[in-house]
Amino acid sequence: MSSGTREPLYLQIQEYFKNLISSKQLAPHEQIPTEKEIMEKFNVSRITVTNALAELVNEGLIYRIPGKGSFVQEDAKIFKGKVEALEGDTSIPLEEITTQMEIPAERKIIGLIMPSIEDYFAIRLLAGINEMLNETEYILTIILSHNSREKEREAIRELLRLRAVGLLIFPVDAEIYNEDILELKVRNFPFVLIDRYLPGVETNYVISNNVDGAKLAVEHLWDMGHRNIAICSDSILPTITVEDRIKGYMDALKERDAMINPGYILTDLSLKQGDLTDQNLLYQFIRSRKATAYIALNAKLSVHIAKLAKSSFLNIPEDISIVTFDDPSFDTDFGMYTHIFQSEQTIGKEAANILVQLLEERQKNNIPHYKKKSITPQLVVKGTTGPVKLVHKNSPLK
């Protein structure tokens, strides 16, 4: 990678706010400009601003309140005002939740809310949950949210009406948290988040370590000689999963003293089939051969990248390499994928186990501590990664 002397834009943004904070021009809990305002001030993309602000959050200088904005940090009690506000909100009647504490023994329902059950990730996750609950007295009831905040809200309320004693929730992709989840927390109702956590909010959760997963992908590609590594997401909305994976990607490059090129962080990508035009930014990027390797943040996207590469007469892994989160190999003709294995079945089993522990502690009138578990991912090397081709850079393909 080129090492240039000009400081990257995301670092310039960080330094700008660090100076404002250290000079007291921004006071504790004062709101900083919106992402749109920062984009306009520095003439940069949203992902550059997002990455800069994420680093300021990691350094403890600012905090975020979804739907409100970013604020200057003072201490860790950043959601106190939000929780106090919710305590006065009776949108979910308190009695509808507290009645769960005295459920007849013959009806012990645990609710599971998931966006869908259409891929191997979800299927393995469900297998792990079932494996754990099969050994208990609890019955699993599943409602799909179809990645809709409103349907997720309806699912939570429906499961409470069914007198579920606890919930396992795989939150939808959304720019702001579902307030019904925060309401469950305020009411001390037992629930465990799966594959997501809410930054700044204490909850029970089980996740795959997405930062480490992205680091594994970069490390593998770097060791094979790749220096122009793109990371790709088709998520329209910023999610903590995407943010953590991009953070891991950036951290891995920083550890290797490599410059971070924002142009190699591709987000909001379209998976529209058959779109091989100038309007398809991913297709044009692949044809330009700017990157020799790609990290796809989900299995469906990795298959799409492989198909676009094939349409561009590029061979995998001879011309470009692909590492993906999750393994799509069951549904592709490109052979076995090098992928980040997230131990989905273990995640499901651990989430169910934590919820059962919470319910047991509640029966003993114990006040449970928040249980947080991060599962270490593994790199599985298959057929979509190989050594870099030094002749890539000046390819005539445009």
Interval 4-13: pLDDT, tens: 445 678 788 9
Q: Which of 38-47, 98-107, 134-143 has the lowest mean pLDDT?
A: 98-107
User: pLDDT of 198-237, one tens digit each?
Assistant: 887 889 999 999 999 999 999 999 999 999 999 999 887 7
Who wins on pLDDT, 388 or 121?
388
Q: What percent of the chain has pLDDT over 90?
A: 49
359-382 pLDDT tens trace: 998 888 777 789 999 999 999 999
**How far is 97 from 187, CA to CA, in rounded Å?**
8
Q: Please check the confidence at residue 119 and state whether its pLDDT lies above 80.
A: no
Q: Burial code of 122-161, b = ≥16 C-beta within 10 A, e = fewer?
A: bebbbebbeebbeebebebeebbbebebebbbebbeebbe
- Co-location of 214 and 67 in the same domain: no
Residue 88 lies in a domain: no
Q: What is the pLDDT of residue 274?
A: 60
Label the pairing between strands 69-72 and 62-65: antiparallel
Count CB atoms within 10 A of the CB of residue 243. Answer: 21
Whether 143 and 221 map to the same domain: the answer is no
Tell whether 360 is covered by a domain. yes
Within-domain flag for 94: no
Q: How far is CA 286 from the centre of its chain?
A: 24
The answer to whether residue 64 sits within a structural domain is yes
The reply to whether 89 falls in a domain is no
**Do 250 and 157 share a structural domain?**
no
Q: Is 271 exposed, middle or buried (0-12, 13-18, 19+ CB in 10 A)?
A: middle
pLDDT per residue over 243-297, tens digit each?
999 999 999 999 999 999 999 999 988 777 666 666 788 999 999 999 999 999 9
C-alpha radius of gyration, the chain, whole number: 23
Indicate the average pLDDT of the chain.
83
pLDDT bin (cut points 50, 70, 90) of residue 14 is: confident
Same domain, 194 and 229: no
Residue 397 lies in a domain: no
Same domain, 167 and 298: no
Judging by beta carbons within 10 Å of its beta carbon (0-12, 13-18, 19+), is residue 248 exposed, middle or buried? buried
pLDDT exceeds 50 at position 188: yes
CATH of the domain at 40: 1.10.10.10
**Do residues 118 and 35 both lie within one domain?**
no
* pLDDT single digits (tens) 297-315: 998 899 999 999 999 999 9
Same domain, 235 and 384: yes
Q: What percent of the chain has pLDDT over 70?
A: 82
Average pLDDT rounded to a whole number, residues 341-348: 94
Q: What's the rounded Cα separation, in Å, for the pair 228 and 221?
A: 10
Q: What is the residue range of 61's domain?
A: 9-72
Q: Which residue has the higher pLDDT, 25 or 230?
A: 230
pLDDT > 80? residue 99: no
Mean pLDDT within 122-148: 90
Per-residue pLDDT, 25: 87
Q: Is 199 inside a domain boundary?
A: yes
Is residue 387 located within the same domain as residue 253? yes
Residue 125: CATH number of its domain: 3.40.50.2300
Q: In terms of domains, do 258 and 310 share one?
A: yes
Name the nearest CA neighbour of 101 among 359, 317, 384.
359
User: Quick one: 216 and 128 in the same domain?
Assistant: no
Query: How would residue 121 be classed by pLDDT, with cut points 50, 70 and 90?
Result: confident
Show which of 18, 53, 72 is a domain's final residue.
72
313-330 mean pLDDT: 90
* Residue 63 token pair: 């905090």
> C-alpha distances in angstroms, 208 versus 69, 326, 340?
27, 11, 10
Full 3-state SS string of the chain: CCCCCCCCHHHHHHHHHHHHHHCCCCCCCCECCCHHHHHHHHCCCHHHHHHHHHHHHHCCCEEEECCCEEEECCCCCCCHHHHHHHHCCCCCCHHHHHHHHCCCCCCCEEEEEECCCCCHHHHHHHHHHHHHHCCCCCEEEEEECCCCHHHHHHHHHHHHHCCCCEEEECCCCCCCCCHHHHHHHHCCCCEEEECCCCCCCCCCEEEECHHHHHHHHHHHHHHCCCCCEEEECCCCCCCHHHHHHHHHHHHHHHHCCCCCCHHHEECCCCCCCCCCCCCCHHHHHHHHCCCCEEEECCHHHHHHHHHHHHHCCCCCCCCCEEEEECCCHHHCCCCCCEEEECCHHHHHHHHHHHHHHHHHHHHCCCCCCCCEEEECCEEECCCCCCCCCHHHCCCCCC
Q: Which two tokens stand for residue 149?
A: 């905040």
pLDDT number for residue 212? 98
Two structure tokens written together for 321: 């390499």
- The confidence band for 80, taking pLDDT boundaries of 50, 70 and 90, is very low
Q: How many domains does the chain have?
A: 3
Q: Is residue 151 part of a domain?
A: yes
Task: Please check whether residue 78 is in contact with residue 63, taking contact to mean a CB–CB distance below 8 angstroms.
Answer: yes
What is residue 1's predicted lDDT score, i.e. its pLDDT?
40
Together in a domain, 365 and 306: no
What pLDDT digit, counting tens, does each position of 34-71 carry?
Answer: 988 998 898 888 777 877 887 787 677 887 765 677 88
pLDDT band (50, 70, 90) for residue 135: confident
109: alpha, beta or left, given left = phi > 0 and alpha = psi -120 to 50? Answer: beta
Per-residue pLDDT at 329: 65
Task: Tell me: do 222 and 284 sit in the same domain.
Answer: yes
Q: Which token pair is 77?
A: 């009690």
